[in-house]
Amino acid sequence: MFDLHSLAAFNADGAALPLAALAGARRRGPLECQKDVNKRDFAGVTPVYESFIAVLRKNLVRVTELSVANSLPGLNTRYKQELVGLKLQYANAWIQYMRFSRRSQGRMSGLVVFVKACEDEFVGWDVYEAAALLEYRTNVEDGGRVAIQTFEAGMEASFRRINLQQNARELFERVIATFSPEEAKPIWDCWSESLYEYDTLEAVLQTESRIAEIYPNDPPLKRFGRRHVYRGTDPIADHDLGFTHVKAQAANCKAFSE
């Protein structure tokens, strides 16, 4: 029978026995389903998740350091394989924590957990994807917009961490299929900007061809100009297309009217 005493006991043992946190997942369910609001002591559940995440992170740091320190091919490969599994477990722990917070204490509580997760260097794409899909499916007001923003943030973070372009491409193709063309436009923009900076001209032209098919009303000159933008500097728009002159005129008109 679940009670707060067993939860407290688990909470105390969790740091020493991280595997016991798996059993703890079975204990949190009855607390969420407790109909008596006064007995829903969620403050006692939060430390369970955080303790479990802390233990997993400590193990991740340990194996990462071993992977870097060992140059022997056999050991290095073993540690890298172990890291893949540990990172998946770590992501899953954050996702379960995020889901629990959202279910039990509302959307904002779940977002607070997500923001905290994003600050962790070991948190990867899976957590962003889970957060985006939660928004898309449960936020009736602006879930689509928030989901796209979350996907964009996840892609940007992943592009910074992924060394193999093929892995990044697989990630992009997986995401883009989730949304309609109208919803996916910001993600296409994010992906193309990454290609403009790091990929070959052939890859860029292939992507622009796909974009032209999906968004036929997009001016080709606009895409051509974006290839040459870096950190907000757009020489084609500012000089060849005369946008600098237009901006200056607009600024003068505004100053005159004031």
Output the pLDDT for position 7.
42
In angstroms, the CA 30 to CA 35 distance is 10
Confidence category of residue 216, pLDDT binned at 50, 70, 90: very high
Please answer whether residues 154 and 125 qualify as being in contact, where contact means their C-beta atoms are separated by less than 8 angstroms.
Answer: yes
pLDDT at residue 258 is higher than 70: no
How many structural domains does the chain have? Answer: 1
113 membership: H or E segment, kind and range = helix 107-118
Q: Looking at residues 208-220, what average pLDDT do you find?
A: 90
Within a domain: 227: no
Among the ranges given (23-37, 127-141, 153-167), the one the predictor scored with the smallest mean pLDDT: 23-37
pLDDT at residue 94 is higher than 90: yes
Backbone angles phi, psi at 126, to 5 degrees: -55, -40
Q: Looking at residues 113-132, what average pLDDT do you find?
A: 89
pLDDT at residue 150 is higher than 90: no
Within a domain: 65: yes
The secondary structure of the chain in percent helix, strand, coil, rounded to multiples of 5, reads 80, 0, 20
pLDDT tens track for 167-204: 677 778 877 887 888 888 888 888 888 788 777 888 88
Is 135 in a helix, a strand, or coil? helix
The pair of structure tokens assigned to 156 is: 């940007």
In angstroms, the CA 110 to CA 133 distance is 13
DSSP 8-class letter at 18: T
Q: Looking at residues 18-35, what average pLDDT do you find?
A: 56
Structural domain that includes position 12? 1-104
Helix and strand numbers, DSSP H then E, in the chain: 13, 0
- Which residue from 100, 113, 84 is spatially nearest to 27, judged by alpha carbons? 100
pLDDT at residue 50 is higher than 90: no
Please answer whether residues 21 and 55 qualify as being in contact, where contact means their C-beta atoms are separated by less than 8 angstroms.
Answer: yes
- Which residue from 55, 116, 110 is spatially nearest to 86, judged by alpha carbons? 55
In angstroms, the CA 126 to CA 94 distance is 10
End-to-end alpha carbon distance in the chain = 73
In angstroms, the CA 227 to CA 176 distance is 21
Q: Looking at residues 9-38, what average pLDDT do you find?
A: 52
In angstroms, the CA 232 to CA 73 distance is 43
Confidence category of residue 212, pLDDT binned at 50, 70, 90: very high
In angstroms, the CA 72 to CA 63 distance is 15
Output the pLDDT for position 210.
93
Please answer whether residues 140 and 152 qualify as being in contact, where contact means their C-beta atoms are separated by less than 8 angstroms.
Answer: no
Within a domain: 139: no
Confidence category of residue 145, pLDDT binned at 50, 70, 90: confident
User: Which carries the bigger pLDDT value, residue 37 or residue 118?
Assistant: 118
Among the ranges given (73-87, 151-165, 193-207), the one the predictor scored with the smallest mean pLDDT: 151-165
Output the pLDDT for position 209.
92
The pair of structure tokens assigned to 1 is: 């029978």
Among the ranges given (29-38, 136-145, 174-183, 205-214), the one the predictor scored with the smallest mean pLDDT: 29-38
Within a domain: 36: yes
Within a domain: 88: yes
Please answer whether residues 49 and 96 qualify as being in contact, where contact means their C-beta atoms are separated by less than 8 angstroms.
Answer: yes
Within a domain: 61: yes
Within a domain: 243: no
pLDDT at residue 124 is higher than 50: yes
Within a domain: 226: no
In angstroms, the CA 184 to CA 133 distance is 14
Confidence category of residue 66, pLDDT binned at 50, 70, 90: confident
- Which residue from 102, 181, 108, 194 is spatially nearest to 148, judged by alpha carbons? 181
